[in-house]
Structure 1
Amino acid sequence: MTAGASDANGGEGGGPSADGRAARRVQGTYYTLTLGNTLAASFIWGINTLFLLDAGLTNLEAFAANAFFSLGMFVFEIPTGVVADTLGRRASYLLGTLTLAATTALYWMLWVWQSPFWAWAVVSVLLGLGFTFFSGAVDAWLVDALTATGYSGSLEAVFGRAVVVGNVAMLGGSVLGGVIAQLTNLGVPFLIRAGILVVMLVVAAVLMRDLGFTPERGAGPLKATRTVLRASITHGLGNRPVRWLMLTTPFTTGVGFYAFYALQPYLLELWGDEGAYSIAGLAAALLSGAGIVGGLLAPVVRRRFRKRTSVILLSTITSAAVLVALAVSANFWVAVVLIAVWGVSSSIDDPVHRAYLNDMIPSKQRATVLSFDSLLGSAGGAAIQPVLGRTADLGGYGFSMLWSGVFQALAVPFVLLSRAQHDPADTAREVTSAPQPGDEPTTDAALPPTVD
């Protein structure tokens, strides 16, 4: 462990726990937050567009409302990351949960009132604000708390299990939301979502503590914000391995968003019956199941390679190749297999990417830098999805999958550039913190031989 980690162990974390109970409690809290957040979010994923149309919006207005949600995430991503680094990760999570519960209830009220489009646009932006309080803050809280409690295992294992938990919640929430809407009405899943968020607010207030991290509360809010932002730019875009890794995010996230939604009508097209809605739901179920498998495999695959960038490269190239193969496949069952492979590959990449990025960022700027990474993903989704959607209009879903593979492949050079910096985090096998002044260099001498 680094000197910074040792300081955390001797401070608020209370020193390493001999039996690992403190670290297990931290992980249990993280998985509980992941489960609750994803379950609440996924309750409306399958019915959101139908809900907007039922409220009286046109197709253009419905998708424009979704665009305002993305705009909200883009605008507020960095400011809310600064909140997490100045007021604390716990405070950021609580603010996000409260904001999402309130705006979800507002969404339901707009549906009841058959409100005009401008009202949906405003509330959609506020929904985006709520989600940005989570991005960066929760992962930063986890890594700091694990360091403070003396955890010496791999971050890939923790993030991998979180991927499994999230996909289980996504599968269950999406199915339950659709069933409940069919049995009642389209508004009830939104009320259930708001209720789950209120429960999560209480759970987080009881379980979360900012272990291993002291918020910057000495200076005024504007000065503290400027200080954190300057340091975050230094440790984000100013840090070469971090910068190159973050520049992969617009491509992988943008393609991921598009493929998730486009695979549903594409499967219907291959099946030959546009009214077979159960087949459309198969894509979401496939990706959820593949995500569970990928999350379990991530730490296993990581142990086979000395460098994290090797795993990220393998996953990125595999995902691009699978998307190209989907473009030329005209067989439904072959497409099903390829979708499963794409889901597993993407889910193996996610924990390794997050672990590598977290290990390169100092604790005090972690949430802000992670938020900037999420911002780049939102920007990629906003820019790439319309382009791919237009290619689908011009040449069909298969043609758009071909271009999805091309966009995915554009991430490869940036992974190679990050790898070329030889950052110690690329070969780290345990929880570390990005080095602070005076820290000893991280070594990897005791690791067994592995594939590079």
Structure 2
Amino acid sequence: MDTVNAAARRIQRIYLTLTLGNTLAASFIWGVNTLFLLDAGLSSFEAFAANAFFTLGMVLFEIPTGVVADGWGRRYSFLLGTLTLAGSTFLYWLLWQFHSPFWAWAIVSILLGLGFTFFSGAVEAWLIDALRFTGFEGGFERVLGRGQMVTGAGMLVGSVVGGVVAQATNLGVPFLMRVGVLLIMFGVGLALMRDVGFTAQRSAHPWEGAKRVFTASIDGGLKNPPVRYVMLAAPFTAGVSIYVFYALQPYLLELFGDPHAYSIAGLAAALVAGSQILGGWLAPYIRMLFQRRTSALIVCTVGSAVLLGALGLTGSFWVALVLLAVWAMIGSAVLPVQQAYLNDMIPSAQRATVLSFGSLMGSTGGVVVQPALGRAADIYGYPASIAIGGLVQLIAVPFLVASRRQNAPADRRRDGDEPAVVEVVTPELP
């Protein structure tokens, strides 16, 4: 069977379009977000605490919005996400305008987290189910790697433009740009996105339907040992990565010697984006280097931690940029491998909820890790906090080793193999 037929190519084009638009919108502020919070009068601890409330919002809403995606449709979830994120981003801009108290930042940050949870799991689940429906049987590393490349391209353009616009105007304008592009993406999703290869499990009793999907997602997630251990590793890898990305803004400006060079902060985010493009391209080749997917996860996690230690120790701006680029490239190259590994072990009917649960675990780490490392930055400085983050990330390794020991068929699956998971259709409740 042709693994790249016309229908599969169309699904991939839609997926890449949605990914590009959403990333472009989100990344307008990524290069200046921490500077934006500090400019609003927040301390370093408060700035990262605000980010922690954002991840808390993701923790609170990952499962409910995953249930929305599985129970009402992935398209429905995507459209809700664009509107929620646009509205909460506009509220963020208003808080900056009025130098609002921290409690207001905390509330709106939670709403921002809600907006992103409508996307997490839903778009990826839509892609995998739609591709399988079209007869696509290739390895998903290549497709998801292209998604990483498009994400990097969107981030490259968005972060550079956001940094330049912020320096030419003020730190608030990139936030308004995000609102505008998200509203455009609502129209794009409305026109192009259809649930294919998946039937929403709606129920006459919404609470019972949500309970059914949630219970099934636990069975396919935490009660499935190889999936469970990858999820338990996520708080240490994702939590540290979130902190490092935002801490790099003031840290690199500190190394550069100009706290107002906002375009440098945008350049740093753009460098991460460029590394994502390269990492996404490398993803299928990274998979080819290892007999098992978990081997790639373990090696890349250790390598990433070592790079963070070196990044925290260097005093050179240019060396820091090189280390940052390699760190981002490794993370981007291994992410599609992890996504493919998980998707090959998750039934279609609960895919969005289980993937959202995985995001929840990563966000839980962010809730704890971000303010803790932010406090370390206040006391010891940003370099030390980044090095400490590398040590925290190493805690994920034993969990990945435990997942490897389960010898799941998905761990060895390659292009052309049959899916490692047996799809189970859950009957509708009366």
Q: Which residue does the alignment assign to 2:428? A: none
Q: Any idea what SS the aligned residue of 2:202 has?
A: coil
How far apart in 2 are the matches of 1:415 and 1:18? 30
Q: Which residue does the alignment assign to 1:306? A: 291
Q: Any idea what SS the aligned residue of 1:401 has?
A: helix
Q: Which residue does the alignment assign to 1:321? A: 306
Q: Any idea what SS the aligned residue of 1:44 has?
A: coil
Amino acid in the other structure paired with 1:239: N
Structure 1 residue 144 and structure 2 residue 125: aligned?
Answer: no
Q: Any idea what SS the aligned residue of 2:147 has?
A: helix
With normalisation by structure 2, the TM-score equals: 0.90
Give, in angstroms, the shift of residue 207 of structure 1: 1.2
Give, in angstroms, the shift of residue 120 of structure 1: 4.1
Residue from 30, 37, 54 that aligns with 1:69: 54
With normalisation by structure 1, the TM-score equals: 0.86
How far apart in 1 are the matches of 2:366 and 2:52? 10
- Checking the alignment, whether the CA contact within 8 Å between 2:82 and 2:186 is kept in structure 1 is yes
CA RMSD of aligned residues (A): 2.5
Q: Which residue does the alignment assign to 1:434? A: 421
Give, in angstroms, the shift of residue 281 of structure 1: 4.2
Q: Which residue does the alignment assign to 1:245? A: 230
- Checking the alignment, whether the CA contact within 8 Å between 2:156 and 2:271 is kept in structure 1 is no
Instruction: Point out the structure with max Rg over C-alpha.
Output: 1
Q: Which residue does the alignment assign to 1:266? A: 251
Q: Any idea what SS the aligned residue of 2:222 has?
A: coil
Query: Would you say how many aligned residue pairs link Structure 1 and Structure 2?
Result: 422
How far apart in 2 are the matches of 1:278 and 1:187? 14
- Checking the alignment, whether the CA contact within 8 Å between 2:286 and 2:296 is kept in structure 1 is yes
Give, in angstroms, the shift of residue 434 of structure 1: 2.0
Q: Which runs of 4+ in 1 moved over 6 A?
A: 16-19
Q: Any idea what SS the aligned residue of 2:86 has?
A: helix
Residue from 337, 340, 352 that aligns with 1:355: 340
Q: Which residue does the alignment assign to 1:441? A: none
How far apart in 1 are the matches of 2:262 and 2:27? 18
- Checking the alignment, whether the CA contact within 8 Å between 1:363 and 1:433 is kept in structure 2 is no
Q: Which residue does the alignment assign to 1:421? A: 406
Quick one: percent identity of the two aligned structures?
60
Deviates more, 1:96-105 or 1:194-203: 96-105
Residue from 181, 184, 187 that aligns with 2:166: 181
Structure 1 residue 391 and structure 2 residue 371: aligned?
Answer: no
- Checking the alignment, whether the CA contact within 8 Å between 1:84 and 1:92 is kept in structure 2 is yes
Q: Which residue does the alignment assign to 1:195? A: 180
Q: Give per-residue Cα distances to partners, 1:236-281, cap 9 Å, x unaligned.
A: 0000000001111111111111221223443344455656555544
* Structure 2: gaps (5+ residues): 426-430
Deviates more, 1:135-144 or 1:122-131: 122-131
How far apart in 1 are the matches of 2:258 and 2:35? 20
Give, in angstroms, the shift of residue 128 of structure 1: 1.6
* Structure 1: gaps (5+ residues): 1-15, 439-452
How far apart in 2 are the matches of 1:326 and 1:125? 30
Q: Give per-residue Cα distances to partners, 1:389-443, cap 9 Å, x unaligned.
A: 33333433333233222111111111111111111111112473621469xxxxx
- Checking the alignment, whether the CA contact within 8 Å between 1:17 and 1:23 is kept in structure 2 is no
Q: Any idea what SS the aligned residue of 1:428 has?
A: coil
Give, in angstroms, the shift of residue 175 of structure 1: 1.8
How far apart in 2 are the matches of 1:407 and 1:19? 41
* 1:89-108 correspondence to structure 2 within 5 Å: 89-108=74-93
* 1:110-129 correspondence to structure 2 within 5 Å: 110-111=95-96, 118-129=103-114
Deviates more, 1:265-274 or 1:375-384: 265-274
- Checking the alignment, whether the CA contact within 8 Å between 2:213 and 2:350 is kept in structure 1 is yes
How far apart in 2 are the matches of 1:319 and 1:299? 19
Give, in angstroms, the shift of residue 303 of structure 1: 1.9
How far apart in 2 are the matches of 1:58 and 1:319? 30
Q: Any idea what SS the aligned residue of 1:46 has?
A: coil
How far apart in 2 are the matches of 1:388 and 1:297? 31
How far apart in 2 are the matches of 1:213 and 1:226? 19
Q: Give per-residue Cα distances to partners, 1:71-95, cap 9 Å, x unaligned.
A: 2222111111111111111111111
